[in-house]
Amino acid sequence: MIIKRMLAFILVLILTASMLTVNAVDVFAQIPLDPRTLTKYVDPLPIPGVMQPTTPGGTYYEVGMWQIGQQLHSQFLPTTLWAYGLTQATATYPGATFETKKGVPIQVRWTNELYGVTHPLPVDQTLHWADPLGTGHTMDPYTGPVPLTTHLHGGEIESQSDGHPDSWFTPGFAIKGKGWQKETYYYNNNQLPTTLWYHDHALGITRLNVYMGLAGFYILRDSVFETPLNLPSGNYEIPVVIQDRMFNTDGSLAYPNVGNNPMIHPFWNPEFFGNTIVVNGKIWPYLNVEPRKYRFRFLNGSDARFYRLQLIDPATGMPGPAFWQIGTDGGYLPAPVMLNDPANPASPRLLMAPGERADVIIDFSGYAVGTQFILDNNAKAPFPNGAPANPQTVRQIMQFRVVPLTAPDPSVIPASITTIPTLTPGPITRTLTLNEVMAMGGGPVAMFLDGKMWDAPLTENPTSGTTEIWEIINLTADTHPIHLHLVQFQPLNRQKFQTNKYLKAYSALNPVIPADVTINPAIAPYLQGTPVPPDANEVGWKDTFRMNPGEVSRVVVRFAPQDGSPSYTFDATAEPGYVWHCHILEHEDNEMMRPYKLVAPPPILAREVSISESPTLAQNYPNPFNLECVIAYALPTDCQVKLSIYNILGQKVKVLVDEYQSAGYKSAKWDGKDDQGRDMASGVYFYRIEAGKFVQAKKMLLIK
């Protein structure tokens, strides 16, 4: 079905290409700005304000998405942007920061205030997108009401509040997507303290809505845990979001208005790389820093650009102070990791893909007042094998100026921070692929996850409470930052493979991509070398992981709360479900996103097994049984588990489980065979579980 629809779709596009119009994109008939004409480092770095609840001290917020004018550089007039705020007058780009506390839920009613506004950027209606007016695939730009929705990136949230791509809505909730559930979102804030961020996530239009300014920080704190760490705080803790943009000479946003394959997608391009750097809503700003420690919560908020960051003294060309990374996407690292060691030229830089966050301490003590540093970026675009960063433009991010110390610095860089529990995967390993389809004339047409379109039948449906390995085979030429909603996972390793040989075998099994059903050859015969563990600053909780070309990337995903609880406080199996996708926004807007839905444990588990203070063992189901039965059990804590089958004489005939398992609902199947694969005779058998110090046995009946 998907193949026929894809072929018909391309045929229609080719036949209608001659009717391509340019009305409604006349806004781009302007003069592009040469960013080198702007004076760098004349504007101070803005610090985002704090989002205020509707009632002071309360937990309920009403936040609108407004059109505003904001000056991004002192040489500009105000630029037309979209921004989050309580009112149009208080809305800012980036949005104000949500300051939240662990265990204290908040409610946010998001409203679309873009009444009478049409999108100033070219909406490509040949993509699978929100399509509020039901126009269908057309080569014309869209001129109707703007669809929006807000996703809390990295949040452990019920799906109704997750900002699902299909949960979009137009002003006044007049038109709503099929995944829309409610106006007021609920954030329980039960996960570990960390740096999250919120941004628009409307289907097929995320790249444009975020480009217009719809993004902001969401910081979750835990004073009981964090106060003893004595980290830099107050004015010395600064969120920093880095984005690349393009402008016209009048200061208005510029964006490509012709696609790389305009006969197929008139406006879509595979990646957007701006020539101007914007930090916290200012173009090439500066920040005064005292000779003391600062904490920076870095966020890569760009569409597609990666950043590899280091401080450089422009007067000498020598490296500046080291970075001590203390946290990543989902929380603190076990201990600080040093990056940019000025005494070691081979020291790794801070590498950030779109969507990633890095919690970093930089110590400016010991540097003379008047010293200046440039935050230097040497990442190629596309990453990792694209064009070098232009030293006159995107290689420079912002400036730091050392000024006199105003007060003693009591903060520290702790020697250790926390313990990251090791996730023990269950029996399921999902092998998935990253795919790119090229046009006959060259250039990408779309990107896919596991060779499937966004609306292909659901294939990822993990059981709530279980732990899986996802191994993802990158068959493209670029690094993709893959993001899973709902969960914080743990990177396991990366391993090179014989790309061309595997691709040949893959293509033989999947001659047409995309397809409803794809078959992934076993990767083992094509692996090269040994698996490489994640980088030192990735050894923690992540929700976005860089997956490099020519490599298999493996992550361990536990579909349960991050704090180790066996089940969520909300129904994680409810509609509309969750998604996983590439966080290069142009990619996720053109098919590189797939739904996934959690399913409840098997009925026998839900009916007979509960998580209590001690392990629980259910009666096998069905009982009596013929060919196969399920044995379910629940673990309140991580432990060593052994599940064995015995005959009526007490002789062991089969070991079903013998491994260390994480807490949660578990199950195993017995097919009536012994360890040598021989069929067992009808009769009474016993199954026995040993879980830590817990031992229990139950009787079952095999009838053939």
Report the phi/psi class of residue 313: left, alpha or beta, with left for phi > 0 and alpha for psi in -120 to 50.
beta
According to the model, what pLDDT value does residue 18 have?
32
Domain boundary among 596, 630, 645: 596
Contact criterion met (CB below 8 Å) for 395 and 389: yes
Report d(CA 526, CA 674) in Å as an integer. 33
561 and 438 in one domain?
yes
569 and 436 in one domain?
yes
Question: Is 649 part of a structural domain of the chain?
Answer: yes
pTM of the complete model: 0.85
Supply 124's token pair: 């490509």
Report d(CA 130, CA 599) in Å as an integer. 26
According to the model, what pLDDT value does residue 614 have?
80
- Tell me what percent of the residues of the chain surpass a pLDDT of 70: 94
Question: Is 415 part of a structural domain of the chain?
Answer: no
According to the model, what pLDDT value does residue 606 have?
52
Question: Is 397 part of a structural domain of the chain?
Answer: no
* In the predicted structure, residue 34 carries a pLDDT above the cut 80: yes
572 and 637 in one domain?
no
According to the model, what pLDDT value does residue 603 have?
62
What confidence category does residue 8 fall into, taking pLDDT thresholds of 50, 70 and 90?
very low
436 and 571 in one domain?
yes
According to the model, what pLDDT value does residue 424 have?
86
- Residue 3, classed as helix, strand or coil, is helix
Report d(CA 681, CA 660) in Å as an integer. 31
Report d(CA 11, CA 661) in Å as an integer. 51
Total domains present in the chain: 2
Domain boundary among 596, 621, 641: 596
Domain boundary among 596, 618, 647: 596
Mean pLDDT of 143-172: 98
* In the predicted structure, residue 4 carries a pLDDT above the cut 70: no
Question: Is 63 part of a structural domain of the chain?
Answer: no
Report which secondary-structure segment, H or E, holds 338.
strand 331-339
Report d(CA 665, CA 44) in Å as an integer. 53
Q: Among 15-29, 82-96, 380-394, whose mean pLDDT is lowest?
A: 15-29
579 and 444 in one domain?
yes
Mean pLDDT score of the chain, rounded to an integer? 92
Over the stretch 667-684, which tens digit does the pLDDT of each residue have? 888 989 999 889 899 899
* In the predicted structure, residue 275 carries a pLDDT above the cut 80: yes
Over the stretch 412-445, which tens digit does the pLDDT of each residue have? 999 999 999 999 888 889 999 999 999 987 889 9
520 and 500 in one domain?
yes
Question: Is 666 part of a structural domain of the chain?
Answer: yes
Over the stretch 9-26, which tens digit does the pLDDT of each residue have? 444 334 333 333 322 333
User: Helices H, strands E: what count in the chain?
Assistant: 6, 37
Contact criterion met (CB below 8 Å) for 392 and 412: no
* Chain-centre distance for alpha carbon 610: 32
- Residue 625's domain comprises 605-702
Greater confidence, 21 or 581?
Answer: 581
Mean pLDDT of 510-524: 95
Q: What is the CATH number of the domain that holds 465?
A: 2.60.40.420
Contact criterion met (CB below 8 Å) for 188 and 565: no
461 and 520 in one domain?
yes
Contact criterion met (CB below 8 Å) for 661 and 641: yes
Over the stretch 605-655, which tens digit does the pLDDT of each residue have? 554 555 667 888 888 877 888 777 888 888 888 889 999 999 999 999 999
According to the model, what pLDDT value does residue 661 have?
86
* 8-state DSSP, 367: S
Report d(CA 55, CA 418) in Å as an integer. 35
According to the model, what pLDDT value does residue 23 have?
29
Mean pLDDT of 151-172: 98
According to the model, what pLDDT value does residue 29 have?
53
619 and 570 in one domain?
no
Alpha helices in 528-614 (DSSP H): 585-588, 603-608
* In the predicted structure, residue 392 carries a pLDDT above the cut 70: yes
Q: What is the CATH number of the domain that holds 670?
A: 2.60.40.1930
Question: Is 488 part of a structural domain of the chain?
Answer: yes
Supply 679's token pair: 């069929």
Question: Is 292 part of a structural domain of the chain?
Answer: no
According to the model, what pLDDT value does residue 662 have?
81
684 and 590 in one domain?
no
Report d(CA 69, CA 89) in Å as an integer. 10
Contact criterion met (CB below 8 Å) for 275 and 333: no
* In the predicted structure, residue 5 carries a pLDDT above the cut 60: no
